[in-house]
Amino acid sequence: MDNFSTLVCKCSADKFVVREVDLVDIMGQKRVKYAFCPCAPDPVHLLTSGYLASTPSLPQTAFSLRLLNFYDLMWNICNSHKTPFTKVLCRWNESRSATLCAQNSSKVRSKVFLMVHVSSLN
């Protein structure tokens, strides 16, 4: 995905704070170190990379706009409900991605966690 962060932020590198964020996309999921800066809210920084933050402050998870567009298309054509869609997404990504663990833990992140975040996006 394209990164348009330079359109939002012109700060020098020393102002950035790096945090881990779980990025969920239709083609996989991954935990990345993402650089945030105080000149714009964290969700705006994620949006410049094509991801929608799951929370307005200190987001730990973000969903790709491509994934949300796909879900919207599925919902409009197939009337796909959130829970079955989330289960399919989890199974699809499990075979293509590393398993994401809870922050600072080796405990596998719950599928319920993903379902809660996806359901909050509607």
- 83-122: buried (b, 16+ CB within 10 Å) or exposed (e) per residue? eebbeebeeebeeeeeebeeeeeeeebeeeebbebbeeee
Count CB atoms within 10 A of the CB of residue 67: 22
Q: How far is CA 47 from CA 20, 65, 70, 109, in A?
A: 16, 8, 17, 23
Torsions phi, psi of 59, nearest 5?
Answer: -65, 135
Task: Tell me: pLDDT of 89 over 80.
Answer: no
pLDDT (tens digit per residue) in 28-66:
889 999 999 989 999 999 999 999 999 999 999 999 999
Q: What is the mean pLDDT of residues 9-21?
A: 90
Edge-to-edge order in the sheet of strand 28-36: 28-36, 17-25, 61-64, 51-53
Between residues 101 and 71, the one the model is more confident about: 71
Among the residue ranges 8-12, 62-66, 98-102, the one predicted with the least confidence is: 98-102
Cα 56 from chain centroid? 12
Q: What is the pTM of this model?
A: 0.71
- Residue 105 · residue 36 · CB < 8 Å: no
How many residues does the structure list for the chain?
122
